[in-house]
Chain A
Amino acid sequence: MSLCAQSQNAYTIKGKITDQNGEAIAGANVSIEKTSKGTFTNSNGDYQLYLNQGDYTLAITSIGYESELKKIKLDKNLSVNISLKTKEQDLQEITITSKEKSRNVSSVQMSVNTISAEVISKMPQLMGEVDVIKVMQLMPGVNQSSEGSSGYSVRGGTTDQNLILLDGSNIYNPSHLLGFFSVFNNDVVDNVTMYRSGFPPEHGGRLSSVLEVQTNSECDEVISGNLGIGLISSRAMLNGSTKDKKFYWSVAGRRSYADLFLLLPTQYEMPSTYLYFYDFNAKAVYKPTDNDVISLGSYLGRDRLGMDLLNFAYGNSLVYSQWAHKFNNKLSSTLNVDWSKYSYTLESDMYIDKITWDSSISSPSASYKADYFINPNNKLTLGTKTFYHFLTPGDVDLYDGNSYTIENYNALELSIFAQDEHTFYNDITITGTLRYNIFSNKSESSPKTYNTLDYRLGAVFPLKADNSIKLNVERNNQFIQWANNSASGSPMNVWFAASSNIKPQVLYSYSVGYFQNLNNDMFELSGEIYYKDYHNVIDFADNANLFASDIQGEVRSGKGKGYGIELMAAKTSGKLTGFINYTFSHSEYTIEEINNGKTYLSPYDRPHAVNVSVNYELNKKWDFSLLWVYYTGAPASFPESTITINGEVYNVFYERNTYRYLDYHRLDLSVNFTPKPEKKRWRSEYNVSIYNVYNRKNTWMYGFNEGEVTNYYLFGIIPSFTYNLNF
């Protein structure tokens, strides 16, 4: 079967996967049964595999199509085209588990979840939007940082320990509208993948997770589009492709009008109050040859909020390009060049506080990665990635024309990586990654260069064809972090770098998992256990002033640890699909100058979290979704006594995070109705959702005043309606 002596001849099998009408099927899974080998078709429906000589069974699966098996004898380069039949009964087969159906067991990658845009579109909505990040917050080990927030914690890590990528380029703040929306526009999102450990070798610089958001790069029509009208925002998208499919383009935009609907105070007038965001995505993909794909894309988003004399404006700007080239059947490469910037501007026009405060992080970067198949059982990946960060904590213009600048500085972040993935006897596969990092803080006040090494070791031990055990051991470094105590999507994120005063944060992480598929992959089960050991982890000193010019002076570092269990069960096909997962997660810090040196809980410690998602497709016109979310309330500090000074009463806090907010839970329901699903053009879709059906008053924050505790909550029950027009 797949195990062959390396001296055997190796051949290429390639072909095209189409539907009954000859239309290419993109994203179809082409795997070799009973092995860990497999791939996906590209936007043209093409696939290619490189295997040793032998007899194999090709398994082709794709959402909405009948699976197909085909036996082949590989003793020369083969071209195998396969046509899939439309699946009448299970049209909405949904994948919400591991990255590839059937490969969730055999692949060495663990702690990963991929969700397609189609699945996201079926989820219940909040104020007319299903947000990519909020869907990922439902995955095991992932937790939202506060109600409605785009901030999330992975395995107890902080929100800035998550690397967030749009088509491979950094997004430094994924939040719109203080976190109620993310920067990702569903209209252009193709799929989302989150890695909680064992990151791909090209990614690093963060400790807890990597979130890859891939946008569409294909379209069946010369021009088509989508128009969505919701209660709080509207959006439009146009895309198209040339008939030869060599050129693809898309543009999309959103604009919110939240300020019309939020609960503005009514007891007095508030002229000129505004709160909105807008964003644009644009992308072009050109395939000059069968071996080259050139992509160019950009994102621009801006939030504006304020009133009369005070204005916030913040957002991300991103330009990226990619050239993927295949030299031959064994060697391919990817070159990325991009530039990402996050900035905010705070303007006060109030007389004595008239001030303009600009802060930003701007990072041009370039990366190059080459994949080389030494033989079908051994894949080598080599590459490098370089950032040059321009950090501007604050350029301040004062009302009298004077100005001052908190020290601007630059930092170089260079990584060289190598990974080898080798499949041994019985399809045991081991992946080893080394990543050598040079980080150089070039500030005048605290320059420092660090040379560090990341390593990642992963292994899969197949027990049978449908179950396996996986292991992962890794060490990662993080060199930049943000000064933000916020649990939600605060716009005022000041990124700052490791320096002579602040060492890079280091995480040693250990994971083991069991993976089982049942009933021909209809059910996917997994269980993972992890342990995390943090060094130089940072937190902010008691009473830290994050508006201070010397942010480093407010930072303290020490040790931390986390451990947990993640259980997941998913039904991936049939009319009824969905998943249930449970996470136990513990996270704590011990930092000498915080909490009197006593160990304290991280704000992201969540002993128990449960997510239940169910989707039922009654027929092509109607489908229904249910979502129930539960997690233990976040750790918090409560005052334990009060004192009176000068006639004023003050709360006295003694220890950090010894209490918890109320447990969080809510139920969401959603109905999608497509009156004429068979129409490709001018197809209308309606969505009615109810967020927080039983009106749970989930805590956003507590207020402590005069011996009372006030629970502030953002959302009660929220119905919403959205109309989508596909044309």
Chain B
Amino acid sequence: MKRIIIFCLALTLSSCSEIIDVDINTVESSLVIYGHLSSDVERQRIEISKSVAYLSTGENTTISSATVSVNDIYNYSFVDSLGYYLSDVAFGAEKDVDYTLKVNYDNQEYTATTTLADTTCITGGHLVKASLMGIGYYTPFLTSSGLKDEEYWYVYFTYEDSILLEGLSDVSIIQASTLIGSEPYDYVPFLDMTNVNAMFFAEEDREMVEKMFDSTSTTQPKFLATGDTIKISMCTITEGYYDFITVLNQSSGSSNPIFGSGAVFLPSNISNDAIGYFGSLNQKHIDIVVE
């Protein structure tokens, strides 16, 4: 809801702007480790990079000389693959197992542990077409079970033609306890309509919609036409991972005096002062066809 408010106010209260020079301290670079294990059997992915000073641009931050492994009762080695580290074999994370990530880089060891969260079931899904300011848009809509337990935290990924449509700054996240109502609550509005990036506009309104967006912005509209298929992954995650993604969500906006400071402070579960998070996803999928 916050984002929809910001979006509308931004439209209503456009202010002027200019790029300015500001002195910002150059801090020492930190190691950044991010990845999650999926319950789906697949080659799991970890990415490792370095932070760069805010005012520096164009630096290659990828780390390709680290040693990466994940241990449960087995030891899964990860190999460098164009800036990412992929497990050498496909495997899926399982319940009640502790997975420990170990990264060795520059004579330092970085570790983190994750455990797969419990899962829920998707019982159905469809797209609803509505109109905003005369522009058609689609809202994906899921029903599922098991949502009333406040121990559940969810993240939703959307794919079209196997391409992930949004980054972590855009994905929808829900804490089930916030949905508890006086009546049984058995659905999830899985794609948060407050998230502009996650809106699917109607293909027939492409021309009008594209006028609304700065073509150079990283935020670009997505379109759906009749017959298109999107895949939705509904992933149960741990509270810590939920908090991490929440902060990334918050950081996508800039500071705003109406809604307070834009400063966000990233949590991390990686040892040795590394930035990032090592989590796990208990995934369920559904394909939805635009009718």
Q: Which residues of A approach B to under 8 Å, CB–CB?
A: 145-146, 149, 178, 259, 262-265, 267-273, 275, 305-310, 312, 346, 348, 350-353, 355, 357, 398, 400, 402-404, 484-488, 490, 492, 540, 542-543, 545-549, 603, 636-648, 650-654, 656, 659, 662, 697, 700-714, 716
Tell me the bound Cα distance from A484 to B256 in angstroms: 12
Check A710 against B54 for contact (C-beta < 8 Å).
no
Enumerate chain A residues within 8 angstroms of B19, measured Cβ to Cβ. 708-711
Enumerate chain B residues within 8 angstroms of A650, measured Cβ to Cβ. 169, 248, 251, 266
Question: With A402-B183, A713-B15 given, can you name 18 additional A-B contacts, CB distance below 8 Å?
Answer: A178-B9, A259-B12, A264-B11, A275-B13, A307-B12, A400-B187, A404-B180, A543-B246, A636-B261, A640-B53, A641-B52, A641-B54, A647-B167, A648-B218, A697-B18, A701-B255, A708-B19, A709-B24
Tell me the bound Cα distance from A270 to B208 in angstroms: 12
Q: Mark B37-67, 1 if CB is under 8 A from A, else 0.
A: 0000000000101011111110001000000
Check B22 against A275 for contact (C-beta < 8 Å).
no
Q: Is B29 an interface residue (CB 8 A)?
A: yes
B5 touches which one: A346, A352, A651, A710 (CB < 8 A)? A346
Of residues 190 to 224 in B, which have CB atoms within 8 Å of A's CB atoms? 191-194, 208, 211-212, 218
Of residues 241 to 291 in B, which have CB atoms within 8 Å of A's CB atoms? 243, 246-248, 250-251, 254-267, 275-276
Given contacts A651-B54, A709-B22, contact A353 B1 (CB under 8 A): yes
B193 touches which one: A267, A350, A398, A403 (CB < 8 A)? A350
Q: Closest residue of chain B to A544, judged by CB? A: B260
Check A646 against B34 for contact (C-beta < 8 Å).
yes
6 contacts between A and B (CB under 8 A): A262-B12, A310-B4, A641-B51, A650-B266, A701-B256, A707-B54
Q: Closest residue of chain B to A151, judged by CB? A: B257
Enumerate chain A residues within 8 angstroms of B275, measured Cβ to Cβ. 643, 652
Enumerate chain A residues within 8 angstroms of B182, measured Cβ to Cβ. 402-404
Check A352 against B133 for contact (C-beta < 8 Å).
no
Q: Closest residue of chain B to A709, judged by CB? A: B22
Of residues 145 to 191 in B, which have CB atoms within 8 Å of A's CB atoms? 167-169, 178, 180-183, 185, 187, 189, 191
Check B24 against A710 for contact (C-beta < 8 Å).
no
Interface of A is mostly: loop
Tell me the bound Cα distance from A350 to B180 in angstroms: 21
Q: Is B225 an interface residue (CB 8 A)?
A: no
Shortest CB-to-CB span from B210 to chain A, Å, is 10
Tell me the bound Cα distance from A382 to B130 in angstroms: 63
Check A648 against B167 for contact (C-beta < 8 Å).
yes
Given contacts A640-B27, A712-B17, contact A267 B180 (CB under 8 A): no
Tell me the bound Cα distance from A637 to B181 in angstroms: 37
Check A398 against B181 for contact (C-beta < 8 Å).
yes
Q: Closest residue of chain A to B190, judged by CB? A: A352
Check B263 against A490 for contact (C-beta < 8 Å).
no
Check B20 against A710 for contact (C-beta < 8 Å).
yes
Enumerate chain A residues within 8 angstroms of B226, measured Cβ to Cβ. none
Check A640 against B54 for contact (C-beta < 8 Å).
yes
Enumerate chain B residues within 8 angstroms of A659, measured Cβ to Cβ. 22, 24
Q: Is B73 an interface residue (CB 8 A)?
A: no
Tell me the bound Cα distance from A309 to B5 in angstroms: 11
Check A308 against B256 for contact (C-beta < 8 Å).
no
Q: Is B123 an interface residue (CB 8 A)?
A: no
Identify which of A355, A357, A540, A701 gathers the most chain B CB atoms within 10 Å of its CB: A701
Shortest CB-to-CB span from B253 to chain A, Å, is 9
Enumerate chain B residues within 8 angstroms of A485, measured Cβ to Cβ. 259-261
Given contacts A262-B13, A350-B4, contact A542 B265 (CB under 8 A): yes
Check A646 against B168 for contact (C-beta < 8 Å).
yes
Check B17 against A268 for contact (C-beta < 8 Å).
no
Given contacts A488-B257, A703-B255, contact A638 B34 (CB under 8 A): no
Check B61 against A644 for contact (C-beta < 8 Å).
yes
A644 touches which one: B14, B22, B32, B191 (CB < 8 A)? B32
Tell me the bound Cα distance from A706 to B208 in angstroms: 27
Tell me the bound Cα distance from A263 to B247 in angstroms: 31
Q: Closest residue of chain B to A353, judged by CB? A: B193
Enumerate chain A residues within 8 angstroms of B14, measured Cβ to Cβ. 262-265
Given contacts A346-B1, A651-B251, contact A641 B53 (CB under 8 A): yes
Tell me the bound Cα distance from A355 to B189 in angstroms: 12
Q: Which residues of B approach A to under 8 Å, CB–CB?
A: 1-2, 4-5, 8-9, 11-22, 24-27, 29-30, 32, 34, 47, 49, 51-57, 61, 128, 130, 132-134, 139, 141, 167-169, 178, 180-183, 185, 187, 189, 191-194, 208, 211-212, 218, 243, 246-248, 250-251, 254-267, 275-276
Tell me the bound Cα distance from A398 to B189 in angstroms: 11
Check A709 against B20 for contact (C-beta < 8 Å).
yes
Check B211 against A267 for contact (C-beta < 8 Å).
yes
Q: Closest residue of chain B to A595, judged by CB? A: B265
Q: Closest residue of chain B to A488, judged by CB? A: B257
Enumerate chain A residues within 8 angstroms of B246, measured Cβ to Cβ. 543, 545
Q: Closest residue of chain B to A308, judged by CB? A: B133
Check B266 against A490 for contact (C-beta < 8 Å).
no
Shortest CB-to-CB span from B183 to chain A, Å, is 5
Q: Closest residue of chain A to B208, judged by CB? A: A268
Check B265 against A645 for contact (C-beta < 8 Å).
no
Check B167 against A646 for contact (C-beta < 8 Å).
yes
Check B261 against A640 for contact (C-beta < 8 Å).
no
Check A543 against B51 for contact (C-beta < 8 Å).
no
Tell me the bound Cα distance from A707 to B25 in angstroms: 13
Check B11 against A270 for contact (C-beta < 8 Å).
yes
B49 touches which one: A398, A644, A654 (CB < 8 A)? A644
Enumerate chain B residues within 8 angstroms of A645, measured Cβ to Cβ. 32, 34, 47, 167-168, 248, 276
3 closest cross-chain pairs (CB), A and B:
A485-B260, A637-B263, A703-B254
Check B54 against A642 for contact (C-beta < 8 Å).
yes
A711 touches which one: B5, B18, B211 (CB < 8 A)? B18
Tell me the bound Cα distance from A106 to B187 in angstroms: 70
Check B24 against A640 for contact (C-beta < 8 Å).
yes
Given contacts A547-B1, A641-B51, contact A700 B257 (CB under 8 A): yes
Check A146 against B261 for contact (C-beta < 8 Å).
no
Q: Closest residue of chain B to A307, judged by CB? A: B8
Enumerate chain A residues within 8 angstroms of B30, measured Cβ to Cβ. 641
Shortest CB-to-CB span from B62 to chain A, Å, is 8
Enumerate chain B residues within 8 angstroms of A540, measured Cβ to Cβ. 260
Shortest CB-to-CB span from A14 to chain B, Å, is 52
Shortest CB-to-CB span from A556 to chain B, Å, is 13
Check A654 against B20 for contact (C-beta < 8 Å).
no
B169 touches which one: A636, A648, A711 (CB < 8 A)? A648
Tell me the bound Cα distance from A355 to B191 in angstroms: 15
Enumerate chain B residues within 8 angstroms of A637, measured Cβ to Cβ. 261, 263
Shortest CB-to-CB span from A247 to chain B, Å, is 44
A307 touches which one: B25, B133, B257 (CB < 8 A)? B133
Check B54 against A704 for contact (C-beta < 8 Å).
yes
Tell me the bound Cα distance from A487 to B211 in angstroms: 32
Shortest CB-to-CB span from B121 to chain A, Å, is 20
Check B25 against A640 for contact (C-beta < 8 Å).
yes
Enumerate chain B residues within 8 angstroms of A400, measured Cβ to Cβ. 187
Given contacts A545-B246, A697-B16, contact A310 B8 (CB under 8 A): yes
Check A306 against B8 for contact (C-beta < 8 Å).
yes
B260 touches which one: A404, A546, A643, A652 (CB < 8 A)? A546
A351 touches which one: B16, B139, B251 (CB < 8 A)? B139
Enumerate chain A residues within 8 angstroms of B189, measured Cβ to Cβ. 352-353
Shortest CB-to-CB span from B51 to chain A, Å, is 4
Check B1 against A355 for contact (C-beta < 8 Å).
yes
Tell me the bound Cα distance from A701 to B191 in angstroms: 29
Tell me the bound Cα distance from A355 to B1 in angstroms: 9
Check A652 against B16 for contact (C-beta < 8 Å).
no
B211 touches which one: A149, A268, A305, A351 (CB < 8 A)? A268
Enumerate chain A residues within 8 angstroms of B251, measured Cβ to Cβ. 650-651
Check B8 against A402 for contact (C-beta < 8 Å).
no
